[in-house]
Each structure stands twice: as C-alpha cells, then as structure tokens.
Amino acid sequence: MIRILVSREPIDPAAEMAALEQGGAVATFTGLVRADDGVATLELEHYPGATEAALTRLAEDATARWPLAAATIVHRVGPMTAGERIVFVGTCSAHRQAALEACAFLIDRLKTDAPFWKRETVGEKTRWVEARAADDDAAARWR
C-alpha cells in the first residue's frame, strides 16, 4: 500500500503511523519547520499533480528496492511557523532493516527529487531557499 498526500492541513503522525502498522517493523521520520537564522515563517509552494506524481514514483522505487508492506509520504504546503510538522515519511516491512533503509531513502530522495519551492520570512524580508549540497550528497548515496 502506498499513501501520498500533499496538503495544507496539519499532519497527524499518530494516525499516519497507526495506518502503517501491518506487522513487523515500522520506521518513520517527521520533519519540523526550523527557526534557523530567525525564520518566522516558511511557505511551501508546489505544482499540483506533478508533486504527487514525483512522490508516488519515489514510493514505488522504495517498494521495488525493499520488501515493504506500506509506504507513506505526507507533505505540507502553504505557510507554516517554527515547530509545525512539514513532512511525515513512514514505511512498514516484515524486517526492521528494510523499513529503516526505505524510510531513510525516501526522506533523502524527497529532499532533492520532489518539486517543492520554499520561501522564508526573516523579519520583514522574504527569500527563496536554495538547494543544499548536503541534501544532494544524502540523495546520491541511493543512486
């Protein structure tokens, strides 16, 4: 089972995790909006349809690489403040190593392969967030 959701609504990790619990091992990652450098708000934009398709391809790639019973990616869009949940990634497999590796794969690849655009507000200034070399390095280990 693959579940992909891109939404402006808050993420409920407990509900998402419960839906994944099909036996064996469940691995999850929940990302929060950081307040680095005085960021007051973070706004994510995306291209509807294309974003969901890209996330689905990532989940399909994960289920082809590891024996997963389920994979979930839930990503927020719109304006958010520090501490709000921005992403939930979860995997379920009969074995913990597969669940853990697939979860790491999904979050590493999501950071570089999913079409999201981030804009931060610091004070009264707004700036687009540039891609980070560390994210490219993390994704490269899975290619």
- On the question of pLDDT at 37 being above 80, the answer is no
Length of the chain: 143
pLDDT of residue 6: 97
Angle, alpha carbons 127-37-74 (nearest 5°): 70
- On the question of pLDDT at 136 being above 80, the answer is no
Domain 2-140 has CATH 3.90.1170.40: yes
Q: What one-character-per-residue DSSP string does 120-137 give?
A: EEETTEEEEPPP-HHHHH
Q: How many CB atoms lie within 10 A of CB 56?
A: 15
User: What angle in degrees, to the nearest 10, is found between the helix axes of 96-113 and 50-65?
Assistant: 150
What average pLDDT does the segment 111-132 reach?
87
**pLDDT tens column, 72-109:** 999 999 999 989 999 999 999 999 999 999 999 999 99
pLDDT of residue 15: 95
> 52: exposed, middle or buried (C-beta count within 10 Å: 0-12, 13-18, 19+)?
middle
